[in-house]
Amino acid sequence: MIHTRYLPADRPDTAAIAADIIKNGGLVAIPTETVYGLGANGLDEAAVAKIFEAKGRPQDNPLILHICGPEQIELFCHHIPQRAYDLAEAFWPGPLTMVLPAKERVPRRTTGGLDTVAVRCPDHALARQIIRLAGVPIAAPSANISGKPSTTTARHVLQDHDGKIDAVVDGGPCRVGVESTIVDLTEERPRLLRPGGIGPEELIAVLGDLVVDRAVTGELDPAQVVKAPGMKYRHYAPQEPVVIVSGSREKAAAYIRRHFQPGDRVLCFEEELPLYRDCAPLSYGREADVNTLSAGLFAALRELDDPTVSQVYARCPTGGGVAYAVQNRLKKAAAFHIIDAEEEP
Ligand code: AMP
Ligand code: MG
């Protein structure tokens, strides 16, 4: 056990202390607009190894390098296409990660053994200040134990890592609440590897083209060459099975109420709570405001990660933008188990 320092955002020396720990090869959980990241010096193999160890993360699951701005892309990447600059111009700082060819100086431990590296400039002033003061890119995956729902508050980080990391910076709850959108720019056509805060339509508006990877749309074929290594592991899931029930509010409620057993829970929209009064409902946000759903999803999945829960029936938003990312995370948590209530007798 080590002592995990708690660093509130309003403490004047928080960024300096966090940056010092990073410079000295330690681990600091930092807030970003997407989720909390478990950060270390991305150029220091030993520091990066500690991230994998703390998370229990498979070695071939690469990390994202967090940088201060587009001018830093060239420090870590080469053969950078114009469209990378176009995306940075449109969406940075923000919840967009780009995969580009990695320079030699980026340790292969950081890239999970790949010759490509993921880079992102977060839209969080304190995070960027820490990166700037550290003087190195911060490698940071989501600060959850591997396989668990991601961390969107400092309290979640401490649930998973108290006594295992050097510090946590508390910047309050994350605004977006789901991890960044990831676009691979190393092939002829740009490829969406993970949906996030930037929707596919917004990417197409800049790129004019986008291939959606199979890892996003359905279960992975294990024989397939995996472009987004993180996608092959069970993800974001509470310990009990999750099943998504799609269809109209009324049809879904009728289906769920018919099948509900004691010990089950319902994860639904705030507007639907009255329909599930005796079905242990938990709301994760308002269907009418999808940003509340993305911001609330992981905290709700954590609350449902409880040995007394036997099954979760989940309601999922439709549509593009960040709703597309919420659908993706819920489908992963449900291992793509979806029941269409409209088709049920
Ligand atoms: P996390 O933010 O914890 O979900 O982890 C970062 C994710 O970024 C990984 O799981 C991968 O899916 C993706 N990623 C990072 N680097 C690369 C890369 N070089 N190529 C493809 N995907 C990457
Ligand atoms: Mg993660």
CATH architecture of the domain 242-343 equals 3-Layer(aba) Sandwich (3.40)
The ligand 1 atom nearest the CA atom of 231:
12
pLDDT at residue 237, as a whole number:
81
What homologous superfamily does CATH list for 5-212? DHBP synthase (3.90.870.10)
Beta carbon of 144 within 6 Å of any ligand 1 atom: no
- Report the pLDDT value the prediction gives residue 225, as an integer from 0 to 100: 43
Nearest CA to ligand 1 atom 23: 228
CA of 219 to the centre of ligand 2 (A): 17
- Assess whether the region 5-212 and the region 242-343 belong to the same CATH fold: no
What is the model's pTM? Answer: 0.94
pLDDT at 219: 54
The average pLDDT across 182-204 equals 97
Ligand 1 contacts CB of residue 65 (under 6 A): no
Ligand minimally distant from the alpha carbon of residue 114: 1
pLDDT tens digit sequence for 316-325: 999 999 999 9
Which ligand is nearest the CA of 148, by number?
A: 2
User: What separation in Å is there between the alpha carbon of 257 and the centre of ligand 1?
Assistant: 38
Q: Closest Cα to atom 11, ligand 1: which residue?
A: 230
Would you kindly state where each structural domain of the chain is located, as residue ranges?
Answer: 5-212, 242-343
Tell me what pLDDT residue 345 has. 72
The pLDDT-based confidence of 223 (bands split at 50, 70, 90) is low
The predicted-structure confidence for 244-270, as pLDDT tens digits, reads as follows 999 999 999 999 999 999 999 999 999
Q: pLDDT tens-digit profile of 271-306?
A: 999 999 999 999 999 999 999 999 999 999 999 999
Tokens of 305: 């990660």
Please check the confidence at residue 226 and state whether its pLDDT lies above 90: no
Q: Above pLDDT 70, what percent of the chain? A: 95
Which residues, by Cβ under 5 Å, contact ligand 2, an ion?
142
Q: Is the CB of 215 under 6 A from ligand 1?
A: no
